[in-house]
Amino acid sequence: MKPFSGLIRVSMATLASGNYHCPASTAMKARLLEPVVPPPRKPDRLEDFALGPFMAALDQADFPFLEVRRGRPMHDGLRAWTEHALTMYRRAFPAGAESGLEPVYAPWTRTVELRDPDHRSARRYEITAWGRRLASPDNRIRELRLPVYRISRLKNSAERSVAALVAATGSPGPLPEHVRVLQFGLLDGQVEPLFSGSPQDAQMLFDEHGRSGLEKAVDNNDYRPGSACVTCKYTAACPALPRAPGLLGITDRTQPRRTWSPSNGRAYRACPARDHLRRLNLPKDHRIDHSASADRGRAIHHFLADRHRVPAAPSCDPAVPEQWNAVDFVLPENERLLGARLLRQHAAVCPLLHARTGSAKVEPTLTFHDENADVFVITTPDLLYLDGDSWVWREVKTRSRDCRRTVDLLEDNPQLSLAILLLARGELGGSRTRSRVELEILHPDGVDLEILDPFTMSVQVTARQVLEDHLREWHADRDYAPRPGIECGRCEVARWCSAASTSGAET
Ligand code: SF4
Ligand code: SF4
């Protein structure tokens, strides 16, 4: 790593948490650390920041003196989303009715200069906030508008306080007497006020809610391999990133650095555009994404995960409470009853019957960098556990009707195929003696437990073939063209797809 310059730059994004963030990477980024060997620059051909074109279009409209910026081409779906977002924004904030406010071009930055380096060796701190900036002509009022997909996801207190502080005390420009921060939902055009007050109020809010959160984030050195790795500058020197060269069977580092998961594989196979639009995180159709059967499946996984997560939990018994589904999963009566019936079958094959006490890892995120393909493979087994010294990979599936056995379990199942190859390569460690992949299939009249041996050559060959079928075309693809067909009716991003109208998808 190159030497630290003494500047620490943070923003609302520094406070982000959850599986999509790596605290160590965020902290190094805040310190503006530069690796000696930077990662290769291989951007995707298409724009991959879903809010980028929206912000660029508003910049162009608000600041006509700017040169027209030629960004990366947009996928049709992103173009549709951007047009929708602009319409919603203009509906929420009609031109000429800006409450006397004018757009502000220069980003606001709150800066703190130190006379001597502090305990982090920092001499200067900068805090920024990303959004649309406006001010009254006399500069007495400032407003910061934060774009989000849906208004239902409100910023937390720490994020609000950072936004308010930057709007209240950020340079350049005369400081205001009054500040407003609001959040606007690009999907529905709703506006939600987050803060309104004086610079003193903003400072107090920051002191109470923002400061400690930012300090913790800057000092956090917890590595969390996952989606964040794909844009991380520090991969070459990362001590926590597992490498698995050759895992995917593709040798081609010329394509953009990307992530891949079995669910990407399934989505891409159904339709390349669908996978791309899901990766952009465009808002999904709630009716499809949360159909009763999909939510019942999620609720069952959630129930089992909660039971297995209890430290030193005994194996599950068949008693399932009537109201078994957690409050997050509101199910129709028939799905709730079916779910209870399926869950009762689980006890006979509960993995904790064989697991070494305390060894169960519930829904762990596994990430491997296949350097030969320059792809970060991310997968989440339902459960990993040790049988003796051997890792066992358990997946659970549910069926609402009696089980019909599949001729070949691996066929069309990239999750199981990936599990086979990871265990066969010894990527999880442990002894190979009892290492296996288990597929538990719950159905109304019973349960099947299918066992796959990762060390049987024919199983490995099939697994490799299945992965190749799911990966090879995607790996070379730079366009993600729509493939209209029967899947359109089940497509959660059909709303943004111009091809959907010719394919009978609901919009
Ligand atoms: S490579 Fe991944 S785990 Fe390592 S610092 Fe970067 S984001 Fe974190
Ligand atoms: S609507 Fe059809 S063509 Fe469009 S992304 Fe979805 S599956 Fe693909």
Q: Based on the domain organization, do 213 and 268 belong to the same domain? A: no
Torsion of Cα atoms, 46 then 49 then 54 then 55, to 10°: -120
268 plus 205 within the same structural domain: no
453's tokens: 């041996």
Containing structural domain, residue 195: 7-219
Cα–Cα distance measured from residue 237 to residue 220, given in angstroms and rounded to the nearest whole number: 17
Query: In this structure, are 205 and 303 located in the same domain?
Result: no
Q: Tell me: do 16 and 92 sit in the same domain.
A: yes
Q: Is residue 383 part of a domain?
A: yes
Which residue is it, tokens 């002894």?
431
Pocket of ligand 2 (CB under 6 A): 271, 273-274, 277, 482-484, 487-488, 491, 493-494, 497, 499-500, 503, 505
- Say if residue 425 is in the same domain as residue 288: yes
Nearest CA to 201 among 160, 151, 171?
160
Q: Splitting the chain (507 residues) into consecutive groups of 10 residues, what average pLDDT does each group show?
A: 94 88 96 91 93 95 85 95 97 78 96 95 97 96 94 83 97 96 94 96 96 96 96 95 97 96 95 97 92 93 95 90 83 93 95 94 97 97 97 94 64 92 98 96 93 97 94 96 93 94 48
Closest-CA residue, ligand 1 atom 2, reads: 229
- Domains held by the chain: number: 2
Which atom of ligand 2 is least distant from the CA of 500?
1
**CATH number of the domain that 98 lies in?**
3.90.320
Atom number in ligand 2 closest to CA 498: 4
- Residue 245 token pair: 């060269």
Same domain, 194 and 308: no
Query: Is residue 211 domain-resident?
Result: yes
Do residues 201 and 149 lie in contact, with contact meaning Cβ atoms separated by under 8 Å?
A: no
Amino acid at 411: E
State whether 208 and 310 are in the same domain: no
CATH number of the domain to which 313 belongs: 3.90.320.10
Atom 1 of ligand 1 has which residue's CA nearest to it?
Answer: 235
**Residue owning the nearest CA to atom 4 of ligand 1:** 238
pLDDT score recorded for residue 329: 82
pLDDT (0 to 100) of residue 313 = 85
Classify residue 2: in a domain, yes or no: no
Q: Are residues 420 and 345 in the same domain?
A: yes
Indicate whether 483 belongs to any domain: no
Looking at the domain assignment, is residue 451 inside a domain? yes
Structural domain includes residue 239: no
- Using an 8 Å Cβ cutoff, are 421 and 377 in contact? no
Query: What pLDDT is recorded for position 410?
Result: 86
3-class SS of residue 260: strand
Residue 243 within a domain: no
Q: Among 76, 81, 503, which residue has the most ligand 2 atoms within 8 Å of its CB, making it the best to mutate?
A: 503
Element (H, E) at 139: none
- Structural domain contains residue 225: no
Instruction: Give 275 Cα–ligand 2 centroid separation in angstroms.
Output: 9
Asked if residue 184 and residue 127 are part of one domain, the reply reads: yes
Domain boundary among 188, 219, 250: 219
| Residue 507 confidence (pLDDT) | 40
Tell me how far the alpha carbon of residue 70 lies from the centroid of ligand 1, in angstroms: 31
- Which pLDDT belongs to residue 505? 46
End-of-domain residue from the set 219, 243, 268: 219
Phi, psi of 449 (to 5 degrees): -120, 110
Q: Quick one: 290 and 423 in the same domain? A: yes
Q: Clarify whether residues 92 and 188 are in a common domain.
A: yes
Q: Can you give the pLDDT at residue 405? A: 55
Q: Could you tell me if 283 and 203 lie in one domain?
A: no
- Tell me the three state secondary structure of residue 355: coil
Q: Look up residue 317 and give its amino acid.
A: D
Q: How far apart are CA 28 and CA 237, in angstroms?
A: 12
